Each structure stands twice: as structure tokens, then as C-alpha cells.
Structure 1
Amino acid sequence: MSGSGTTEEDDPLRTAVWRLRSRGCWTDAAALLAPTADRPPVAVERAALLIERCLYAECGWAEAEDALRAAEAVAREDEDRGAAACERGYLAYAATLHGVRDRADEARSALGRAAALLSPSSPGRPLLDFRRGLLAQYLADTPQAARAAYRRAHAGATARGDALLLSFTWRHLAALALGDGELAEARHGFAESLRLREELGYLVGTAPALAALADAEPEPEATRLRTEARRLFHLLGGVPTWLAGHLAPRPAA
């Protein structure tokens, strides 16, 4: 799920959902949407919140599946079906990534279905491109395909002013650059990702951004960034769960 945080023009519900989501309170945020979840876009958003919880906290798989089935059941237009298919692919990706169950084929099929349903100008297209990049990078180990997908997502997010999605595309493009030894490019991308997340108040995503930038910075800055990431990680109750090993204190050289 993408987004741009909140502005003064947002209604109180949108503001409350964003604030809860940004602090890792996905279940509470989803509960606020439950009364209007018979509307397809709301149903998809509610499912997306619970799927994000699965990815970050590695729990709540059954609740996410139930919410996703409900969203699929109320979808009537291609846009809504495509958005639900995009979430279906993301849930399958998360389950595969965390070793819950190998659902890689389901992830590819669902994102392919989303691509067929969402028009090239659809608001959901940049997010779909980003998620196809995740599959290419982490499930198929094809970094060139991942880079192309991330760049499409980055261009689409820029055109739409989707700051949160941009924070993800910056970070993943930077990770590929780091893997290629392009340290300056990696440092720039990680710094942009961190800047956007801090501006948006996306607290649950700030620790990973700090840790990622630390990987591209020399000492003593790297240690300072990891220390701050560790503080936020503990403040949020140990989410994202997959960050724990990355934040373990490192022995002195």
C-alpha cells in the first residue's frame, strides 16, 4: 500500500488511519475502516493494512487472508479487481519471503492478473510495478528486471506525488546500486528514502531506512545510524521483525 501521509485537508478518519499505520498499529487502523468496508476501495485498503502487518510483524496471516477475500468479493470494476489482485500477489510474496509457505507461483499469477486489469494510467500501476520488482529481486534473483520495474514505479510515483512509494523505490534502487559497488549512488538513494519517511512521519519504516543508510556510510556515522535505528526498533516493540539481526551490535574491526 502506498500513500503520501496526511495533509491539513485530509478528513479525520484518513488522518487517524495514517497515524496508526505509521506507528505499526495496523489492526487498529483496519478496525477504523471496517464500518465502510463494503465499499471496494475501502475493502482493499483494509486488506492492505493487514497484509503490511504480515510483512512487518510476521503475524496475522489468517486475518489478512479473510480481509483480502472480502475485498475480492465486493470488487465489481476492473480497477477494484486489479487492486485486490495486487494485494493478493503481495500477500503471497510476503508468505514466501518469510518462509510461511512457498506461494511464489501464486504471487506471480496474481500480479500478472493485476497487470491485465489495471490500465497503464491507473493510479495503482506504480505500486504494481514496485511489487513486480520485489518478486524479481527477492524471489527470482533477477536484479536487472527488478531495477527496470523499480524505475517504472519510481517514475510513476514521482508523477503522482506518492512520497511513501518513492521512499520505497529510492531504497530498493539504492540497495541494487550498493550491490553493484556504486557507493555514492546507494548513499544518495538511501538518504532520500530516509528523508521522505521522516517528513511523512512513517515511523515504522524509519528504522529500516536508517539501517540501510548505515550500510553505505563509513564509521562513525554508520554506528550512529544503527544506534538510532535500534532505538526506534525497540520503541515500536520489535518491528519490523526481520530487522533484528541487521541491528545486532557488530564487533570492532
Structure 2
Amino acid sequence: MPPPDIWRLRARGCWTEAAALLATHGMTRFGPALTRAALLSEQCLFTLSGWPEAEDALRAAEALARTDDERGEAACERGHLAYLATQFGVRDRADEASAALGRSAALLTPGAAGRPLLDFRRGLVAEKLADDPAAARAAYRRAHAGAVARDDALLTSFTWRHLAVLAAREGDLAEARRGFTESLRIRTELGYVIGAAPALLSLAGIEPEPEARRLHAEAARLFRLLDGVPVWLADELG
């Protein structure tokens, strides 16, 4: 988890402001530089804008990597940004995403802190780009186990959510409900406001009325509160 002031800004979708707080350190140290790149990549995910700034921040972090684990973490972030650009139709960078995540896997030492996040992102590529739910599930399960072991609550919320998506896709609504509920609970406890609307909407999609209507209305309220972010929820909440 980043420092409290950075986290509060990030959790409310103020990525530019959070990145600005890291800018001074980010010019000279790998850790803050990578955190800054990750913040700006997350901004791309939620707003579908800011791609050049995220690329610049990532290149700066890559230039500061000195160890194999640092290079592996930078490659993981590179793979994620390439995945996002592909998934949202900015530019087809699927090959770059797979190559970068493969490079990350080769560089990160066994038991490295970045392994669960890498597994999660490999799951995203398998699910969204390769349409391989079996490989995605295996990767998400590894990521989930690693996130729980490392007490990484935010990553755990993401692994719960994506495992639930796969469960819903296969018609296992009980497991999907469990995963979506856990994901929403964790995000609420963390104060991860920017991620609450997608979690509410996912749960609404499998709940009966009138609970589905209540969850949908709460998601719409948060969406308006955050000035229409995540932008890709607009059609579902319109």
C-alpha cells in the first residue's frame, strides 16, 4: 500500500495529484518512480486518457531499475500498460503485453513481492486477450493465494472480482456472488472509492430484484459523484 496521502488521492481518482507528490523522489529512486508509473497507468484504466504521461513515467522507472527484481517489476508494469492499450482499443499491443509479462516472470526471483501482481496481470491477458478462461483462472488463483499471503487487500479485491467474473460466465452464481461480495467489501473497507461503482454493478448483475436495483442506483450515485469515472461505465449506467 502506498503512503497514506498518496493512497487517499489514488482511492478518489486523483491520480495526477498523487503522481505529483511522488515526482521529486520519482526522478531518482526506482520505488517511487514505479509507483508513479502505476498511478498514471491506473488513470488510463479508469479515464482512458493520459497515455503519453503514463508511458513517460514508465520509461523513467525502467531507467532506474538496477536489480533483476526491479527490472521484473518494471516489465510487469510495461506489460500491464500494453494490455490496457490493447483492451481499450487505443492500439494493438497484445504481443508486447505478453512479451513483457514473460520477461517479468523470468526476472522476478521465486517468492518476490511482485509475483502475485504478475500472476494477476497474466490472468488478465489470458482472459481478455487470449480468451482462455482456464489459464486465466489458474493465474488468478495463484495471484489470489499470493495476495492473501502477503496481506495485499487491494489485489485480493481484484482477484476476487475476476474469479467471480469467470464463475458467472460458467453459470456458478453462488461462487460469483461470493467473489463480487468479497471484492466490494474489501474496497469499501479500504475506502477505494474509485473502484466501488464497478464492484456494485457487477454484484447487481447477478442479484434478484429489488436488491439489483438498489445496487445499480448506488453505483450510479458514485459514478456521478466521481464526475463520470470510470468512463467505461457510462453506457451501463446511462
* Matches for 1:175-186 after TM superposition, within 5 Å: 175-186=165-176
CA distance in 2, matches of 1:204, 1:217: 22
- Where does structure 2 lack aligned partners over 5 or more consecutive residues? none
Amino acid in structure 2 at the alignment position of 1:41: G
Q: Which has the higher contact order (CA 8 A, sep 6+)?
A: 1
Displaced runs of 4 or more, over 3 A: none
Partner of 2:10: 21
Partner of 1:118: 108
Partner of 1:42: 32
Alignment pair present for 1:209 and 2:208: no
Deviation for aligned residue 1:247: 2.0
Other structure's SS at 1:244 match? helix
Partner of 2:117: 127
- Where does structure 1 lack aligned partners over 5 or more consecutive residues? 6-13, 249-253
Partner of 1:218: 208
Alignment pair present for 1:107 and 2:97: yes
CA distance in 2, matches of 1:83, 1:219: 44
Deviation for aligned residue 1:111: 0.4
Partner of 1:30: 19
TM-score of the two chains, using structure 1 as the length reference: 0.92
Deviation for aligned residue 1:40: 0.6
Partner of 2:185: 195
CA distance in 1, matches of 2:10, 2:17: 8
Amino acid in structure 1 at the alignment position of 2:115: R
Deviation for aligned residue 1:143: 0.4
Amino acid in structure 1 at the alignment position of 2:43: R
**Correspondent of 2:218 among 194, 205, 228:** 228
Cα shift readout 1:192-232 (whole Å, capped 9, x = no counterpart)? 00000000000000000000111110011001001000100
Partner of 1:167: 157
Cα shift readout 1:108-167 (whole Å, capped 9, x = no counterpart)? 000001101111200110000000000000000000000000000000001000000000
Deviation for aligned residue 1:80: 1.0
Aligned-residue RMSD, C-alpha: 0.8
Aligned residue pair count: 237
Question: Percent of aligned pairs with the same residue?
Answer: 69
Cα shift readout 1:7-52 (whole Å, capped 9, x = no counterpart)? xxxxxxx111000000000010000001111111111100000000
Deviation for aligned residue 1:237: 1.1
